[in-house]
Amino acid sequence: MLTVTVENLGEVTTLHCVGRMVRGNETAILCSALRQEARNLLLDLTQVDAIDAAGIGALVSLQAAGTYLKLLNPTEQVREVLRLTRLDSIFEICESRSTVAIAKSTLPGATGDRSETYSFASSLSS
C-alpha cells in the first residue's frame, strides 16, 4: 500500500509518501497525485520501504515529461535501487527535512506561501 499526502506551498508541491512504490495501484496513485499538482515537486521518500522498476519508471517518466523532481531523504532500500540504476546522478537528492526550505526556495517558480494538504491512498489486492 502507498499513501501520498500532498502539501501545496505556492508553486512547489511536496508529496509525503508512505509505503511501497511498486507495480499496480501504488504506482498509479502516485502518478495521479503528481499529474494533478505543480511542475515543481519535492518527493518525500523518508517512509518508502520499497521501490521496484515500475516505481522507478514512474519517476523517470515524470522527469522526462518536464516535472522537476527533488527526492527528500530516500530510505536505504530506495537509495540502493537509485545507486544500482545510476539514477542517483539524475535526480537531485536532499538529505534531510532541514533541507526542505532550501530545496523549495531553489525550485523554479517557487513563490507564495499558500499551504493545502490532502491524501491519496491505494492498496493492491492479491
Q: Could you tell me the domains of the chain?
A: 2-121 (3.30.750.24)
Phi, psi at 83, each rounded to 5°: -65, -45
Q: Which residue has the higher pLDDT, 35 or 76?
A: 76
**Residue 115 pLDDT class (50, 70, 90 cuts):** very low
Percent share of the chain, pLDDT over 70: 71
Q: Name the 3-class secondary structure at 9.
A: strand
Residue 83 CB neighbour total at 10 angstroms: 12
DSSP 8-class letter at 67: -
pTM for the model stands at: 0.75
β-pairing, 2-9 with 115-122?
A: antiparallel
Q: Which residue has the cell 539514477?
A: 87
Average pLDDT of the chain to the nearest whole number: 78
Tell me the pLDDT tens digit for each residue of 10-56: 777 888 899 999 988 777 777 767 666 567 888 999 999 999 999 99
